[in-house]
C-alpha cells in the first residue's frame, strides 16, 4: 500500500480509503444490502492487513450502526493511533429548528453521538455531509471550530458541495481564525466527471484533498453490464437512481475499461481505480466482499499510460447532476432526501 498526506493536514492516509456505508444493521436504515457485524469485521480486518489505514463512515449509515461496527473492529484489530477515522454529521432536523437548537449545539450533539458509537475520544476527520440551507454558515463553521478546539476532531472536511460553497466556507473560516476544510468528498468517477469543471482545479490550487465517493459507480465500473454477483447490485435503489438514466452513454466507457483490463491482465476495478488515483488523494471504496478491498489495494500499484488514460476519457459526455448534488438547492431544504434513518431523510 502507498500513503500520502491528506491535503493541508498532517494526516498520512493510505491511497485507498475503505468506505463503510456497506456495514451496519440492514434493518435500521435505507439499505437492505448492508453486512452484519461478523462480515463487516472480516473485511475491516483484511483491509488493515493490506495496509489500508483510512476508514470513512457516517452517523447516517444505518442509524449509526456502521460507526459502531467500525469502532469495535478497529479497537480489536489495531491501535487507535495507527488509523485515520472519518465520520460525518447531518443537517439539523425540522424538529431541532422548531425547538431553536443552534447549529453549534447540533454539531456538538452529533459529534458526541458519533464518538459514543465509535467508542473513541476523537475522530481524525469530521465531515459536513451535505449543505444545510436552513442553518447559517457562520454557525456551522463556528460549531466545527469548537469541536476542533475541544479535541473531538483533528480536522474537518466537507462532502456534497459546489466549489463556491467550500470557497465561501473557507474564506469565512480564514477571516475568523477558524478551522478550514482540508478535504472534499464529492461524487467523482470515470463515468461521472462533473467535479472536473471547478472543484478539481480549485482543490489542486489550494492543496485540498479529494476523497471522492462512488469511486466505482456502485459497481458499474467493476463489471460489464448485466453481470451481478452482489446483493447491492440487485437491491440498491439509490445507485440505480444515480446511474440508470445515463447507462447508454456510459456503456462506451465501461466497455473500454473491460478492454483495457483484459489487455493488462487485471480487473476492471483496478483499471477504474488506477484512473481515479491519478486524479485524487484517496478514493472512498466500498467493500462488501474480500476481493473488493483486494482489488482496490492492487489498484494503488497500477499506473496507466497517458495513452490509456486518454482512451478511457475520450467517450465522456457531460452528465446532469445526480443524487444529493441534484438537491443542493435552497428549494430542497425542507424536502426529504433519498436515504431514510428513522424520521429523517439523508443522502449521499
Between CA 289 and CA 229 the distance in angstroms is 10
pTM for this entry: 0.92
pLDDT above 70 for 341: no
What pLDDT, on a 0 to 100 scale, did the predictor assign at position 230?
A: 60
Among the ranges given (11-15, 264-268, 271-275, 343-347), the one the predictor scored with the smallest mean pLDDT = 343-347
Q: pLDDT tens digits for 7-33?
A: 999 999 999 999 999 998 877 767 767
Residue 117 banded pLDDT, cuts 50, 70, 90: very high
Share of the chain above pLDDT 70, in %: 90
What pLDDT, on a 0 to 100 scale, did the predictor assign at position 229?
A: 57
Mean pLDDT of 265-294: 96
Between CA 181 and CA 51 the distance in angstroms is 26
Mean pLDDT of 167-182: 98
Cα torsion angle, 232, 236, 240, 242, sign: negative
| Grid cell of 25 as nine digits | 444493521
Q: Which of 3, 55, 61, 238 is catalytic?
A: 61
Instruction: Give the residue carrying C-alpha cell 462533473.
Output: 194
Q: What is the DSSP string of 306-323?
A: HHHHHHHHTT-------G
Residue 339 banded pLDDT, cuts 50, 70, 90: very low
202 is catalytic: no
- Calculate the average pLDDT of the chain: 91
What pLDDT, on a 0 to 100 scale, did the predictor assign at position 237?
A: 62
Residue 183 banded pLDDT, cuts 50, 70, 90: very high
Cα torsion angle, 119, 59, 228, 312, sign: negative
What 8-state DSSP symbol labels residue 4?
E
Between CA 115 and CA 96 the distance in angstroms is 21
Residue 343 banded pLDDT, cuts 50, 70, 90: very low
Amino acid at each position: 500500500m502507498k500513503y500520502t498526506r491528506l491535503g493541508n493536514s498532517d494526516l498520512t492516509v493510505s491511497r485507498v480509503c475503505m468506505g463503510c456505508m456497506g456495514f451496519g444493521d440492514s434493518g435500521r436504515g435505507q439499505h437492505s444490502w448492508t453486512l452484519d457485524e461478523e462480515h463487516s469485521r472480516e473485511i475491516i480486518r483484511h483491509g488493515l492487513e493490506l495496509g489500508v489505514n483510512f476508514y470513512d463512515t457516517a452517523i447516517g449509515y444505518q442509524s449509526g450502526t456502521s460507526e459502531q461496527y467500525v469502532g469495535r473492529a478497529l479497537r480489536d484489530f489495531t491501535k487507535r493511533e495507527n488509523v485515520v477515522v472519518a465520520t460525518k454529521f447531518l443537517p439539523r432536523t425540522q424538529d431541532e429548528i422548531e425547538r431553536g437548537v443552534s447549529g453549534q449545539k447540533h454539531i456538538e450533539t452529533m459529534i458526541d453521538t458519533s464518538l459514543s458509537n465509535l467508542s473513541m475520544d476523537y475522530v481524525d476527520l469530521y465531515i459536513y455531509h451535505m449543505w444545510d440551507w436552513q442553518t447559517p454558515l457562520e454557525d456551522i463553521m463556528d460549531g466545527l471550530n469548537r469541536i476542533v478546539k475541544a479535541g473531538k476532531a483533528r480536522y474537518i472536511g466537507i462532502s456534497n458541495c459546489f466549489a463556491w460553497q467550500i470557497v465561501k466556507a473557507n474564506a469565512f473560516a480564514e477571516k475568523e481564525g477558524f478551522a478550514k476544510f482540508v478535504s472534499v468528498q464529492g461524487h467523482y468517477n470515470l463515468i461521472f466527471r462533473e467535479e472536473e469543471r471547478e472543484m478539481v482545479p480549485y482543490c489542486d490550487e489550494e492543496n485540498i484533498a479529494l476523497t471522492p465517493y462512488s469511486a466505482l459507480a456502485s459497481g458499474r465500473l467493476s463489471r460489464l453490464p448485466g453481470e451481478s454477483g452482489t446483493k447491492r447490485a440487485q437491491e440498491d435503489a439509490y445507485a440505480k437512481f444515480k446511474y440508470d438514466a445515463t447507462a447508454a452513454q456510459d456503456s462506451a466507457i465501461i466497455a473500454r475499461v473491460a478492454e483495457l483490463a483484459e489487455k493488462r491482465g487485471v480487473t476492471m476495478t483496478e483499471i477504474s481505480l488506477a484512473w481515479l488515483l491519478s486524479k485524487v488523494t484517496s478514493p472512498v471504496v466500498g467493500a462488501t466482499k474480500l476481493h473488493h478491498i483486494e482489488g482496490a489495494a492492487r489498484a494503488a500499484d497500477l499506473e496507466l499510460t497517458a495513452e490509456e488514460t486518454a482512451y478511457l476519457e475520450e467517450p465522456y459526455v457531460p452528465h446532469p447532476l445526480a443524487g444529493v448534488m441534484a438537491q443542493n438547492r435552497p428549494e430542497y431544504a425542507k424536502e426529504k432526501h433519498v436515504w431514510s434513518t428513522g424520521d429523517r431523510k439523508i443522502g449521499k
